[in-house]
Amino acid sequence: MSTAHQKPITFRLPILGENTGEPTGAEIDIDAELRKLDGEAAAASSARIDTNHWYDQMVDPQFRASQRGTTTLLVSGLTAAHDYLVKGALSGLGYKVEVIDMPDNEALRYGKEFGNRGQCNPTYFTVGNLVKFLTERAQREQRTPAEIVDSYVFLTAGACGPCRFGMYATEYRKALRDAGFDGFRVMLFQQKGGLKQATGEEAGLAMNPGFFMGILKAIIAGDVINGMGYRLRPFEVEAGATDAVIEQTKKYVYDALVEGRSVLAALLRGRRAFAKIALDWTRPAPRVSIIGEFWAMTTEGDGNYHLQRFLESEGAECDIQFVTNWLLFMLWEGRYDTKLRAELRGIDDARKGLKNVNIGKKLAGLFVADLAIRAAFHTFGAAIGYRGYHLPDMDEIAETAHKYYDNNVRGGEGHMEVGKFILNVLHNKAHMTLSVKPFGCMPSSGVSDGVQSLITGIYPQSIFCAIETSGDGKVNVQSRVQMFLFKARLAAQKEYQELLGKLGVSAESVNAFFAANPRYASGLHRAPHAAAGTAADRLTQVAPLLGRSPAEVRLIEAKMAARKAVAAVRGLPAALGKLRKKIANRSPALFAQAREEWIEAKPILTAKLKQAARARGEALGIVPAARPSAAPQDQATV
Ligand code: SF4
C-alpha cells in the first residue's frame, strides 16, 4: 500500500530517561525506509542472474612432449620406498623426476593457510606439502612463481569421490593459485590423450603400458621391501641393521628401474643381505594390525605421528596394509559394480556405463588383472624372501563386513576396515587392531566411531584402538596407543608363556636350537600361522625339533613334507571344487558368455574336427575317399 500522498509518519523509539514526548528532529521516516527497501528488493529481483558455472581454468593442464627436457615431474604421497621407486621407474622412461619429502607439520600449516575450510586431514597435509615445496624452492633458488610453474608438473592419483579424494586435484589447484602459483600443472594418472587432439602436439606424459608397468613394478617392489622391514625390524639384534639393508635394496631396485634391468634380480640381491641380519625370535612382540584410512595409515611422518616407528619403539610388530591391497580393492569394486549393473546394460549409457559393453570380457579382464597383480606380488615377494603373506581375499572381506557395513557404501576404505578387523579376530591374526582415522574424514569416522564399537561388543576378546590424526595432539594419541598396547603386550607374553608350557620346552632350548639351525632363525624363513604373534608361530614350528640331531631334524622335515604332500593331494579335488565355485561366483556373466559362445562354436568346431579326421583317414587309406561333389557348373545349370 502506497503512503506517498499522506504526511510522513515519524517515530522514535523511547529512550529511558529521555522520554519527553517532544519531537527532536532525529526521528526515523518509516515510509521513506520502506520505500527504500521496496526499491532494493525490486532491483535485486530483476537483476540478471549469472547462470555460467564456475569451472577450473587449469582442468586441462598442458604438458607437451617438447617440454619434457625442461620440466620436472614431482611425485609424493605414498611411503618413502614407494615414492623413491616411482621416481626410478619414471626416470627410466626418460622423465626428469623429483620426490617431495614426506609431509610434515609445516606442510599442514601451508595446507590450512591456502586450502579450503573443512577439509580432511590428509588433504591439508598433501596439498600443503606441494605448496610448501614450491614456495621453498622459489625462495631458495630466487625464482619467480612463473618460472616455478613452467618448470614443474605434479603427478598424483585422483578419483571421482564420493569422499574428498574426488576433490583433491581441484583443491591442489585452488591452494596453488592462492599461494601465487596460478596455472601450476597438476596431472592425474587418469588423464590421457586429450592434449594431442587439442594442440596437435604429443602429450608430455605418455601414459602407455610401459608407463603403467613401471609404476606397478615400483609399487609392488616398494610393498615387499617395506614388508621385509616391518617383519624383521622388531626382532633385529643390532639396531639399525634392517634399515641399512632396506636402503641398500631400495638402491638396487631403483638402479634397475632407471637402467631398465630386471627388478627381480635386484630383489634377489637384496635378499642375500636380508638373510644375514641377526634376529632374536624369542621376543614375544605384540603384533599390531594397522588399518584405517589409506593415506593416514600409509604415511610415515607427522601425518600419523610417525605411528609405525612409534609402535616399533614400544616393542610392537606392525602388520601394515600394502598399496597392492588397495589395488585389489579397486579391482573388487569394479567387479562388484559391474555385476550389479549388468542387468541394466541396455540403458546404462552414463560416462562409465555398460551400454554396448561386453560384460563377460570386462569381468574377465578384471579377474585376470587381479590374478596378475597377485602373481606379481608373490613373485617379487619370493625374490626378496617375503614369504607366507596372504594377500587379502577381497570377497571374503566384503562378505564378512556386509552385515555391519553395506558393500555399496563407498568412500575411504569402504567396508574394508570392518572386514579386516573382524577377520583379525576370527583368524587370530594380531594381538591388537589399530584404526587410524584422520580428523574430518567422514567415511573413516563413521566406521571407527560407529560400526567398530558394535564389532568390539560382538568380539569382546579383541583389543581395538581407534585414533584420530589431526596434526596436533601427538602426546594424547601416543598415550592412548600406549594404553592399548599395554594390554596387547600382556596378551603376547601370555600367549608365548602358555605355549612354552603346553609344548614343554624352555626359552633357552629354543634359543639353542636357533643357534644350531640358522635356517630356522633366518629372516627369509616364515613359520606357518599358528598364533597371533610371530615368535609364537616360530615356537610352534620348532618345538617338535628341539633336542634332535641334524639328521633327525632332516628326517622329521622329510616326514612333515611328505605328510603335507599327501594332504595336498587328498585335498586337491576339494580345493579345485572351491576354486571352481569361487571363479563361477566371481564372474557368472563370464561363464554365461563362455557357454553362449560354446553353443555357437561347438557345431563349427565339430565339423572341422570331422573334416580333419576324414582327411587324415583318407591319407592313411583307412577311410574311402569322398565322392567329388557336383561341379559348380552343374549346379548353375540346375
Ligand atoms: S577417506 Fe577420508 S581422509 Fe581420505 S580423502 Fe576421503 S574424506 Fe579424506
pLDDT given for residue 204 in this prediction: 82
Q: Which long-range contacts (CB under 8 A, 24 or more apart) does 243-251 make?
A: 245/270, 245/273, 245/274, 245/276, 245/277, 246/81, 248/273, 249/225, 249/273, 249/274, 249/384, 250/81, 250/84, 250/85, 250/225
Query: In 27-180, where do the E strands start and end?
Result: 28-29, 72-75, 96-99, 152-156
Read off the pLDDT band of 42 (50, 70, 90): confident
Report residue 291: phi and psi, to 5°. Answer: -130, 180
pLDDT given for residue 333 in this prediction: 92
Query: Pick from 221, 213, 276: which is nearest to 249 by CA?
Result: 221
Atom number in ligand 1 closest to CA 438: 3
Query: Pick from 169, 108, 101: which is nearest to 470 by CA?
Result: 108
The response to whether residue 120 sits with its C-beta less than 6 Å from ligand 1 reads: yes
Q: How many CB atoms lie within 10 A of CB 141?
A: 10
C-alpha 595: how far from chain center? 35
Alpha carbons 224 and 471: distance in angstroms, whole number: 29
Whether the predicted pLDDT of 305 surpasses 90: yes
Average pLDDT of 631-638? 38
* 181 touches 134 (CB < 8 A): yes
Alpha carbons 292 and 121: distance in angstroms, whole number: 13
Distance 394 CA to ligand 1 centre (A): 21
Question: Using one digit for the tens of pLDDT, what is the confidence trace for 433-464?
Answer: 999 999 988 888 888 778 999 999 999 999 99
Test site for ligand 1: of 121, 171, 293, most ligand atoms within 8 A of the Cβ: 293
Q: Which residue has the cell 639396531?
A: 239
Instruction: Kindly state the percentage of the chain with pLDDT values over 70.
Output: 86
Question: Using one digit for the tens of pLDDT, what is the confidence trace for 503-533?
Answer: 999 989 999 999 999 999 999 999 999 999 9
Alpha carbons 623 and 368: distance in angstroms, whole number: 45
Whether the predicted pLDDT of 193 surpasses 90: no
Average pLDDT of 319-326? 96
Read off the pLDDT band of 20 (50, 70, 90): low
Distance 83 CA to ligand 1 centre (A): 20
Describe the crossing of helices 359-384 and 323-341 by its angle, rounded to 10 degrees: 170
pLDDT given for residue 19 in this prediction: 58
Question: Using one digit for the tens of pLDDT, what is the confidence trace for 356-398?
Answer: 888 888 888 999 999 999 999 999 999 999 999 999 999 999 9
Distance 444 CA to ligand 1 centre (A): 7
Of 88 and 25, the structure prediction assigns the larger pLDDT to 88
C-alpha cell at 105: 607439520
Alpha carbons 593 and 503: distance in angstroms, whole number: 54
Whether the predicted pLDDT of 199 surpasses 60: no
Whether the predicted pLDDT of 27 surpasses 80: no
- The CA-CA-CA angle for residues 476, 482, 485, to 5°, reads 145
Whether the predicted pLDDT of 217 surpasses 80: yes
Q: What's the start-to-end Cα distance of the chain, in Å?
A: 101
Query: Pick from 82, 113, 114: which is nearest to 100 by CA?
Result: 82
The response to whether residue 414 sits with its C-beta less than 6 Å from ligand 1 reads: no
Sheet holding 96-99, edge to edge: 96-99, 72-75, 152-156, 185-188
The response to whether residue 416 sits with its C-beta less than 6 Å from ligand 1 reads: no
Question: Using one digit for the tens of pLDDT, what is the confidence trace for 142-175?
Answer: 999 999 999 999 998 776 667 878 788 888 888 9
Q: Which of 107-121, 177-191, 231-245, 393-407 has the lowest mean pLDDT?
A: 177-191
Q: How many CB atoms lie within 10 A of CB 451?
A: 17
* 73 touches 85 (CB < 8 A): no
Test site for ligand 1: of 119, 165, 330, 447, most ligand atoms within 8 A of the Cβ: 165
Question: DSSP of 414-460, one letter per residue?
Answer: TTHHHHHHHHHHHTT--SEEEEEEETT-HHHHIIIIIIHHHHHHH-T
Whether the predicted pLDDT of 47 surpasses 90: no
pLDDT given for residue 251 in this prediction: 98
- The CA-CA-CA angle for residues 436, 440, 445, to 5°, reads 50
Alpha carbons 173 and 178: distance in angstroms, whole number: 9
Whether the predicted pLDDT of 315 surpasses 90: yes
Distance 468 CA to ligand 1 centre (A): 13
The response to whether residue 417 sits with its C-beta less than 6 Å from ligand 1 reads: no
C-alpha cell at 93: 622412461
- The CA-CA-CA angle for residues 339, 345, 351, to 5°, reads 100
Nearest CA residue ID for atom 3, ligand 1: 441
Question: Which pTM was predicted?
Answer: 0.81
Instruction: Kindly state the percentage of the chain with pLDDT values over 90.
Output: 58
Query: In 430-537, where do the E strands start and end?
Result: 432-438, 464-469
Please, what are the domains in the chain?
A: 65-207 (3.40.50), 285-567 (no CATH)
Question: Using one digit for the tens of pLDDT, what is the confidence trace for 236-271?
Answer: 999 999 999 999 999 999 999 999 999 999 999 999
Read off the pLDDT band of 300 (50, 70, 90): very high
Whether the predicted pLDDT of 540 surpasses 80: yes
Test site for ligand 1: of 123, 329, 469, most ligand atoms within 8 A of the Cβ: 123
Q: Which of 90-99, 463-472, 589-598 has the lowest mean pLDDT?
A: 589-598
Alpha helices in 191-322 (DSSP H): 195-199, 209-232, 241-259, 263-275, 294-298, 307-313
The mean of the pLDDT values for the chain is 87
Whether the predicted pLDDT of 1 surpasses 60: no
Read off the pLDDT band of 499 (50, 70, 90): very high
Alpha carbons 265 and 255: distance in angstroms, whole number: 11
Atom number in ligand 1 closest to CA 444: 2
Read off the pLDDT band of 635 (50, 70, 90): very low
Whether the predicted pLDDT of 638 surpasses 50: no
pLDDT given for residue 55 in this prediction: 58
Report residue 107: phi and psi, to 5°. Answer: -65, -40
What is the amino acid identity at position 88? G
pLDDT given for residue 595 in this prediction: 65
Identify the three-state secondary structure at position 156. Answer: strand
